[in-house]
Structure 1
Amino acid sequence: MRTLLISLALLATLTVSHAKVGRQAILQSGDGPIIIALGDIPTPVIYQAAIDDYMVFVRARLETVVTDLKALSLALEHNDLKSAQKAYLSAHYAYETIRPIVLVFGNMDRMINSPASAYLLQENDPNFKGFHAVEYALFHKHDVHDALRENQRLLKYLRDLVKRAEIETLFLPKLVQSAPDFAEHILENKLSGRDHYYSGADLSEINANLDGIEAILTVLKPHLDDAFVASVEENIHAIRQQLSPYDQSGSYLPLDQLTQTDRQHLYGLTSQLAETLAQLRGLLAIEVYHSFDSKEMP
């Protein structure tokens, strides 16, 4: 009887412990020990300098976005629509260089960068706000008053995002995953025209997404094989070469000017880039497993 009671007590202890754990993530990097953690996965010390360098880049880009949005408001206050449009394009370009990283900060990207197609009433939906609401007012409605109102609200969100980026950090698996996410974003949103109905900036912002990939590659380069880095750089160069006929002195032609042949070539090159970047996790010997408590499952 005593043995049975001890066994039941141990079982109860294990059950409670398992319930508290819920979801656990296991990270194995190289030959180091397995790390078990709740929530975010710690970054192995060997990669911490890369994370720190990348967060410097992210914070600088966010400051650029805020500066450009301030210039946008100033232009609108002086009824200068053309300068406001230019400031918008500059601000959103900078944002697109770090966009997958913003997804780490909860629902911030959804709040500040969702297109009208994400809402039931599209442009007339009261929840339509952020970058694309400003873009709509600037490039479609040409409404200075609406653009200024939406931009002031957007600036508030960006200032909040800057504060979060100053105190939070990024974990290695999320940084590594962001590289192929940039390429997938080009395929799903830029080449489809989903992101920019009004300004026609899709081709320009493909370059922004490539800048984002290069920033990640730069901080991880000390840990990567030279041949892999060269392969990615050549792929990025090929995409930019494919876009070069549409570059009008730094301002790209609208997406609807892209020929079907060039679009197909860009799809092929970008798909190849996404597949190559998906190898990063394996090359850095990062394996992430998730174990779910059955009580967490719907």
Structure 2
Amino acid sequence: MRNKTTISIAYLMIGLLLSQVAVAKALRSPVQTGNEIIIAKGDILTPEKYQKITTQYMDYTVKNIHNAIEQLNHLKQSLKNNDVRVAQMAYIQAHQYYETVRPIVIIFGHTDRIINSRSNDFLAGVKDYRFKGFHLVEYLLFDQQNNQATLNAVDELLMNLNDVKRRVETEQVDIVKLIQSSADFLEMILETKLAGKENIYSDSDLTDIAANVKGSQYIIDDIIPFLPHSTSAPIMKNFNKITEILDNYKIKTNEYKPYDDLSAKDKAALFSVLTQQAYLLATLRATLNLDVYYKYQY
């Protein structure tokens, strides 16, 4: 009896071992051979003809982050002078500059989550210790009207923005990610701003919508010479439609009416044209035949 039990256990162990080997083989990726191996890589080399575009856009990004920093410093000085209204306008302008280049900042890891987190990202809302950055400043300045707490939040935001600026000054973005960012700008509008969910305390989402559109079109304006007219024409037509709608709410350069003034008709029109435009921009990598993978020859 004991021998039979020992044999049974031995067979059981062998069976388990063989099953693990089978699972391991099932999970193992197939061996790649030949001269057409495709290898994924994080950063795709930018063809020389696009390098001027990517370099210029990084300069544009640095400039806008610098402008955001200047507006935040203006906000600080205005609060110290007890000029709350001027400080509030400085916040709106600072966030607009940031939104003009935000998708590029998002490329650099979790930076945007620190600089631009919203209270509804967290279960504890405004009480969550992770709620910081632009929207904490917005909450304290517009909702709580707590000048000292606002100044403290601005100091932390400035520290993080200056860090981002230093990093962007030494980085490059590849053309694939840059073109993808042109569509990402519009996706941001559709996800939050068109519903008025980005700047819920300052009611300034129209300003940020205009900033996102500006950032997207800046990329496309540089790419246009490389696109066939049949591709570029509907894209530029859509940008003109978007601008025409937003101009109805424009007060002056870089200043727009509150989001609550946006009519249901214009909101629906923006949704329609932005959705179509985001789709068109998402196809540009294929149109330009830009690979997402390296192909190594052996």
TM-score tier after normalising by the smaller chain length: 0.7 to 0.9
Deviation at 1:47, TM superposition (A): 1.4
In the alignment, which residue of structure 1 is the partner of 2:224?
221
1:82 aligned to which of 80, 85, 104: 85
Aligned equivalents of 2:294, 2:119: Cα separation in 1: 34
Deviation at 1:175, TM superposition (A): 0.5
Q: Give, as a single letter, the amino acid of the residue that structure 1 aligns with 2:103.
A: P
In the alignment, which residue of structure 1 is the partner of 2:260?
256
TM-score scaled by length of structure 1: 0.82
TM-score scaled by length of structure 2: 0.82
Is the contact between residue 54 and residue 219 of structure 1 (CA under 8 Å) also seen in structure 2? Answer: no
Deviation at 1:290, TM superposition (A): 9.3
SS at match of 1:191: helix
**Sequence identity (%):** 39
SS at match of 1:43: coil
Rate the CA distance shift 1:135–1:289 in 2: closer, same or farther, 3 A: same
Deviation at 1:240, TM superposition (A): 2.0
Is the contact between residue 179 and residue 277 of structure 1 (CA under 8 Å) also seen in structure 2? Answer: yes
In the alignment, which residue of structure 2 is the partner of 1:296?
none
In the alignment, which residue of structure 1 is the partner of 2:192?
189
In the alignment, which residue of structure 2 is the partner of 1:118?
121
In the alignment, which residue of structure 1 is the partner of 2:50?
47
Deviation at 1:95, TM superposition (A): 0.6
Aligned equivalents of 1:143, 1:208: Cα separation in 2: 27
Is the contact between residue 182 and residue 210 of structure 1 (CA under 8 Å) also seen in structure 2? Answer: yes
Deviation at 1:280, TM superposition (A): 0.9
1:158 aligned to which of 141, 158, 161: 161
Which range moves more in the overlay, 36-45 or 97-106?
Answer: 36-45
Aligned equivalents of 1:149, 1:290: Cα separation in 2: 46
Aligned equivalents of 2:40, 2:50: Cα separation in 1: 17
Tell me whether 1:282 sits opposite 2:297 in the alignment: no
SS at match of 1:248: strand
Which range moves more in the overlay, 44-53 or 222-231?
Answer: 222-231
In the alignment, which residue of structure 2 is the partner of 1:295?
none
Which range moves more in the overlay, 236-245 or 98-107?
Answer: 236-245
Alignment of 1:53-202 (within 5 A): 53-202=56-205
In the alignment, which residue of structure 2 is the partner of 1:235?
238
Q: Give, as a single letter, the amino acid of the residue that structure 2 aligns with 1:103.
A: I
Is the contact between residue 245 and residue 266 of structure 2 (CA under 8 Å) also seen in structure 1? Answer: yes
Deviations 1:167-191 (A, max 9, x none): 1110111101101111111111111
RMSD: 2.2
In the alignment, which residue of structure 1 is the partner of 2:5?
none
Q: Give, as a single letter, the amino acid of the residue that structure 2 aligns with 1:287.
A: D
Q: Give, as a single letter, the amino acid of the residue that structure 2 aligns with 1:189.
A: T
Is the contact between residue 51 and residue 219 of structure 1 (CA under 8 Å) also seen in structure 2? Answer: no
Deviation at 1:258, TM superposition (A): 2.2
Name stretches of at least 5 consecutive residues in structure 1 with no aligned partner: 1-18, 20-32, 292-298
Deviation at 1:222, TM superposition (A): 2.7
SS at match of 1:120: coil
Aligned equivalents of 2:270, 2:54: Cα separation in 1: 30
Whichever of the two has the greater Rg, that structure is: 2
